[in-house]
Structure formats: C-alpha cells, structure tokens
C-alpha cells in the first residue's frame, strides 16, 4: 500500500469518520503492529489464513454494534428535532431516510398538573432529562423509544414502511404488560413525514392531556376531526356547585362529605377526564379557602401539591375520593382529619429501615402505603420533605448505594448476583439505573475512586 500502511489508514478513518469500524486482516504477527492496531481503535485483528467461522462471528457481532449505534443516533436526532433544532441533511439521509413514520405517547396513570397545558400547542421538554425506565424494555431496532416528560411516559417512533400499524400497536401493548400500570393512556399518530415530528408530538400530547381518565385504560388514534372534542367544561354542574358551596359556607362538614361521595359516584359512572375533575376539585378547595380564614398561603401551596399528587398517582376514583376526604379534613380541621403524628423523623426512619432491610423485594409507593397505613399523597410528601426526592428517585438511589457497598466488600462478585441482592431481576436494567445515577456502569465501578461519595447505607 503506497503512502501509508493499514494502521495509519485505520487511524485516519477513526479520526475523520468515527462511525466507520475497521478490521485488519494481516499476515504480520508482529506485536508492535498489533499494538498499533489497538491504538487506532481497530475492531479486531485477524491473522491470515482467515478462519471463516471466526470472520462470520465477528461480522455478526459488528452488525449488532452498528444496529445499536444507529438506534442511539436516531434517538439523539429525534430528541434534537423534538426540541426545535434542525439536523444536517446528511444525518437525515443516513439515519432517518424513510418516507413515512408513526409515533405514539404512552402514559402510565395520571398527569401532573404542570403537563396539562392551556396553550394550543404544548411543547416537548426542551431541557431533556433521561429518566431510568421503571421496567426493562425489549429493544426493537425498527421502533425507537425514549422517555417523555417524566419517568411515567414513553415516546415511540417507527418507520411505516417496515413496521405495520398492527405490529406497532402490539409492541406498545407489550410495553404496557411489562409496565403493569394501574391504568394507561396511549395516543397513536397518523402517518407523517419526519420533518413534522414535533407537530405530531404536540398533537399526541393534546390527546393525552385532554383524554386521560383516572382508572380507565385507553388506546386512542389521532383523528383531526376529533380535536374539537378535546375541550371539556371548566365547571361543575351548577346545582352540585351550589349545594357544595352552601355546605362549606355553613360549616356542614358531614353534609359536604356526603355530597362529595355522591359526586364521585356520578363520576364513576360518567368517567370524566382528569382535567375536568381537577378543575372541579380546585373550585371546591378554593371555596373552602375563601370561607376559612385560618388557612394561610403556605398551607394552600401544600394543598395544591398534594392534590396534584393525588390525581397523578391514584389507581382509581375511589382512591382519589379517600385521599380528597383526608385532605379536606385537614383543611376543615374536622373529624376525618389525617393523624399528623406520623409526620415525624422517627416515623420516616422506620420506613427507611424497612426499605433497607428488604431492599431485594419489589417495592412501590402503593405497597408502602398499605404497609404503613397512609395515603399515597401523604407518603409522597414525606419523601419530598425528608429526602428532597420522589419515592422512585429515592429507591433507585438506595439500591445503587447498596450495590456499591456490596461491590466494595465483594470485588469478585458477579453483577447478576449484585442486581438480585438489591432488587433487580434484570442485570441489564440494573446496569442502566446504576449508570444513570453514578455516570459509570457497575462493571467499571472502582471503590477507591468513590471514597468521598456519600452513601445512604
């Protein structure tokens, strides 16, 4: 080869075209030559005569790596486009060259109020954060999946020429099964060109925001004619509202409770969307606030946060009602007030100890609520108060810190055993969570490099 040898060519290719992989096939067994190949980041170094089986295995392995690279690059480009940024024409031609696409948004349980936008076009989260998935997902190279506005939401894209409408729906429902949500809302788009992906996602968000119904699973296909039906009344029936206001004004607490139970019974039949329920409940709480001078502004802020968590995490309308009555009892200081003695550091330390002692067991906010006899919204508040984290953030960090402690004391332990010991059945999902928190995979964790890190354990 005139001008330069194979090692020099591989080095230049790696610098100028990092997405191209090089394999050297050579008759040289010289160590220095092989070392140069390693420095040039060559994938493999095969000696002549080449063994066909070895070459076949190498190419199959390389194909998987290239597929994974393409998958990650497509996700990266889609995030960029969803955030309103343009991509280079060559990037589109290389990675997103299909003629038509479909997209979907999958939402587990309810919505935080901050996502329910009054604007005509809700935006994708421009400050993108990668949330660890709450379930291990099966990757399909033709279906690209990323977390949405929080860890309870997925966004999916697929090329319409390769993945049929039916197969896309089956894949989504497979995720739902692995997710095992109490209920879900899925919005699936019509076919579109990739340049319209941001507009399409906004339409899907509109569907999710305006159609999510607590306790009721739905799979909804986008239809432009249905957009007008997304609007819901901001107000309750005037007769119900007048009765509730009368009971509040005259401090008739039991009558108010009875009226709320009747209202929720009606909602159980009608299945109103979350947005309507939220508007109605905020009307009620604002009315209580106006007729109760002892409630201060800080209390109302706390109540707004708790109401948001009740609607976002509840599994059913019955659970919403129970939590609303507890919250209302707190505001009115009447007999169905929640016991405040549990809001102590000692009580929360009991919860922490239970989680540490049973770290290898599956835990959820709901199971902890049942064990300790408190509502989901209240327990969420305790985690925010004492750890400044959500429950899911706390349990992930606790498990990773436990894993670090195990690795430090057992350097030869298998990672799959570490994963099982801290509550992860899937070793690869454990590695993803570990990396999302520490910045490195567990296989590269070095105790001596993390001496200064503060651990929960």
Model pLDDT, residue 128: 43
Domain ranges of the chain: 6-50, 89-229, 238-338, 345-450
**C-alpha closest to that of 117 among 200, 235, 204:** 204
Give the chain's residues under pLDDT 50. 118-122, 125-128, 134, 225, 227-234, 335-341, 449-457
Please report the pLDDT score of residue 203 as a whole number: 92
| Two tokens, residue 81 | 């486009």
Q: What are the tokens at 88?
A: 């280079």
Domains 89-229 and 345-450 share a fold: no
| Fold (CATH) for 345-450 | Arc Repressor Mutant, subunit A (1.10.10)
Domain 89-229, what architecture?
2-Layer Sandwich (3.30)
At 25 the pLDDT is: 86
Entry pTM? 0.66
């Amino acid at each position: 080869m005139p001008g330069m040898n194979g090692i020099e060519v591989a080095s230049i290719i790696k610098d100028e075209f990092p997405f191209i992989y090089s394999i050297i096939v050579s008759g040289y067994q010289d160590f220095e030559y092989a070392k140069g190949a390693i420095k040039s980041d060559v994938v493999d170094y095969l000696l002549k005569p080449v063994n066909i089986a070895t070459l076949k295995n190498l190419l199959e392995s390389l194909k998987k790596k290239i597929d994974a690279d393409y998958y990650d690059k497509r996700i990266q480009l889609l995030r960029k486009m969803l955030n309103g940024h343009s991509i280079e024409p060559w990037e589109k031609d290389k990675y997103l060259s299909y003629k038509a696409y479909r997209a979907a948004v999958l939402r587990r349980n309810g919505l935080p109020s901050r996502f329910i936008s009054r604007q005509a076009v809700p935006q994708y989260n421009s400050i993108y954060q990668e949330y660890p998935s709450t379930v291990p997902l099966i990757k399909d190279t033709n279906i690209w999946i990323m977390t949405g506005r929080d860890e309870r939401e997925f966004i999916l894209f697929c090329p319409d020429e390769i993945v049929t409408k039916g197969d896309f729906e089956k894949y989504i429902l497979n995720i739902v099964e692995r997710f095992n949500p109490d209920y879900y809302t899925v919005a699936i788009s019509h076919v579109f060109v990739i340049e319209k992906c941001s507009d399409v996602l906004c339409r899907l968000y509109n569907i999710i925001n305006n159609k999510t119904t607590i306790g009721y699973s739905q799979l909804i296909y986008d239809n432009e004619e249905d957009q007008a039906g997304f609007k819901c009344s901001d107000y309750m029936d005037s007769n119900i509202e007048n009765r509730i206001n009368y009971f509040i004004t005259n401090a008739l607490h039991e009558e108010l409770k009875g009226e709320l139970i009747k209202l929720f019974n009606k909602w159980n039949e009608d299945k109103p969307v979350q947005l309507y329920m939220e508007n109605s409940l905020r009307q009620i709480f604002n009315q209580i606030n106006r007729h109760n001078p002892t409630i201060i502004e800080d209390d109302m802020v706390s109540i707004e946060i708790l109401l948001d968590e009740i609607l976002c995490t509840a599994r059913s309308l019955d659970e919403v009602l129970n939590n609303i009555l507890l919250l209302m009892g707190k505001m009115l200081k009447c007999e169905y007030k929640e016991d405040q003695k549990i809001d102590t550091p000692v009580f929360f330390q009991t919860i922490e100890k239970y989680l540490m002692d049973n770290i290898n067991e599956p835990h959820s906010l709901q199971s902890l609520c049942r064990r300790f006899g408190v509502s989901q919204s209240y327990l969420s508040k305790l985690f925010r108060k004492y750890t400044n984290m959500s429950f899911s953030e706390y349990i992930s960090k606790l498990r990773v810190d436990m894993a670090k402690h195990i690795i430090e004391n057992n350097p030869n332990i298998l990672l799959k055993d570490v994963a099982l010991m801290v509550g992860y059945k899937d070793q690869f999902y454990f590695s993803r969570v570990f990396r999302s928190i520490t910045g490195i995979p567990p296989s590269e964790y070095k105790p001596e490099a993390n001496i200064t890190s503060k651990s929960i354990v």
